[in-house]
Amino acid sequence: MSKLWGGRFTKQTDQLVEEYTASILFDKELAEEDIQGSLAHVTMLGKCGILPAEDVETIKDGLHRVAEKIRRGEVEFSVSDEDIHMNVEKTLIELIGPVGGKLHTGRSRNDQVATDMHLYLRKRVVEFVGMLAKLQEALIGQAKANLDTILPGYTHLQRAQPILFAHHMMAYVSMFGRDIERLQDSYKRIDMLPLGAGALAGTTFPIDRHFVAQQLGFERVYENSLDAVSDRDFIVEFLANASLIMTHLSRLCEEIVLWSSTEFQFVELDDAFTTGSSIMPQKKNPDVAELVRGKTGRVYGNLVGMLTVLKALPLAYNKDMQEDKEGMFDTVRTLQGALQLFAPMIATMKVNRDRMRQAVNQDFSNATDIADYLASKGMPFRQAHEVIGKTVLYCIQNKKYLLDLTLDEFLQFSDLFDDRIYEVLQPEHVVNARNVYGGTATAQVSEAIKRAEDGLAQNGAWLERYAEKSK
């Protein structure tokens, strides 16, 4: 069969041009969405009297048969047919004859491909909200199991103040919570129907775009036909959201790599999520965390690539926009792989609380509390800061920690010290003294866990609402 658009041409397309311009090698991933959109479109053509009922039923039956053939791997996609739309239509015509050519009445590949991608990303966003919620559950599980585990908190990768390990885990719950919120908010802009915009100006046929939207479960219809076929904001937004998710994953990855090292020994990853060395038998490498950390860069690259494609692109559709798909598909696969592994990796991670406590006992991360202690006795904080600085220097010079000092040694630096200083310096006291909303005190972290579990329930309701229509 000749090309479906070949009537105006007197020559065959050069084979190199066909290979270079074809998108079927990657956009075949949209086959399910393409047929889903076509079924809604042809149903509308029948409802509006644009096609007779018998043609509509023949085409719908044919589309279902095409879908089955694709699922069974019986359709050989052809580069000469360029893209998924032409391959599906060509296969349809082969199955049901020329009536299959009526399917394209009242639409263009421009609004068709945009619809496919809206359908595709709508499913993926729901999927990723669910996967992020699973990761939050794993982090909350570790937090609940470690409400009495204290580790050094860091700034500049230097020990700063003691915190609960649970508090550290809940920081990531908050990060991924914002990621969920961003995905849910972006869903509103994905949940829009471009079909019916035609190539760029609409169509002369009396179509019913809102009926198609209802058939496909779209909440809204694009207001402007030019915008409908040229908008890729929703893809950029998805890639930006995915980049932030990968940013957060990579930060946790870095900490897992550090914590699981011999130098830290704060955690041990389950054997199922580590690998060995081909030459060093003692090695247990955190390869999953390292690879997720590394793959963050490719997601950033896909975002920058998409923004660059759209930069200074005139309305409406341009062939440049074919470049919108590979980066999107790659980001989806990258994110799927990372999130599938991360939740069970965190859930099975062993926490070495004794090693964390040892680290807290052998540093000066409780120094700030002495300054607060002196300030509460009337000493200006700046002066207290200087006093503690000198006290810490004395400890370093004498190979001691603050809790090793006698009261007489403390009194060398200020006569405001008394026996209560030893209570103030205890890690449990340091942690629980920060009993403010969002602080690391056990009571505050327990409340944060409850709030996070309430958030999971709300996400569950959101997923239940949107999962069905995004199938």
Q: Indicate which residues carry an active-site annotation.
A: 156, 277
In the block, tokens 């090292």 appear at 261
Say if strands 158-164 and 192-193 run parallel, antiparallel, or are unpaired. Answer: unpaired
Classify 81 as helix, strand or coil.
helix
Query: CA 465 → CA 123, 184, 220, 305, distances in Å?
Result: 13, 12, 17, 33
Contact in structure between 87 and 77 (CB atoms under 8 Å): yes
Rounded CA-CA distance 179/52 in Å is 47
Rounded CA-CA distance 203/201 in Å is 7
Locate 18 and state its tokens: 């066909």
Q: Which helix (H) or strand (E) holds 150?
A: strand 150-155
Contact in structure between 197 and 228 (CB atoms under 8 Å): yes
Contact in structure between 177 and 455 (CB atoms under 8 Å): yes
Query: CA 419 → CA 50, 393, 416, distances in Å?
Result: 91, 21, 10
Rounded CA-CA distance 33/325 in Å is 14
In the block, tokens 């993926």 appear at 124
In the block, tokens 């079924």 appear at 39
Locate 138 and state its tokens: 């794993």
Locate 230 and state its tokens: 């040229």
In the block, tokens 């000469």 appear at 80
Q: Which helix (H) or strand (E) holds 249?
A: helix 233-259
Rounded CA-CA distance 269/285 in Å is 9
The residues, ordered by sequence, that sit 6+ positions from 95 with a Cβ below 8 Å of its Cβ are 62, 65, 66
Contact in structure between 157 and 251 (CB atoms under 8 Å): no
Helices (H), 348-380: 353-361, 367-376
Rounded CA-CA distance 459/466 in Å is 11
Contact in structure between 63 and 99 (CB atoms under 8 Å): no
The residues, ordered by sequence, that sit 6+ positions from 323 with a Cβ below 8 Å of its Cβ are 305, 306, 309
Rounded CA-CA distance 293/300 in Å is 12
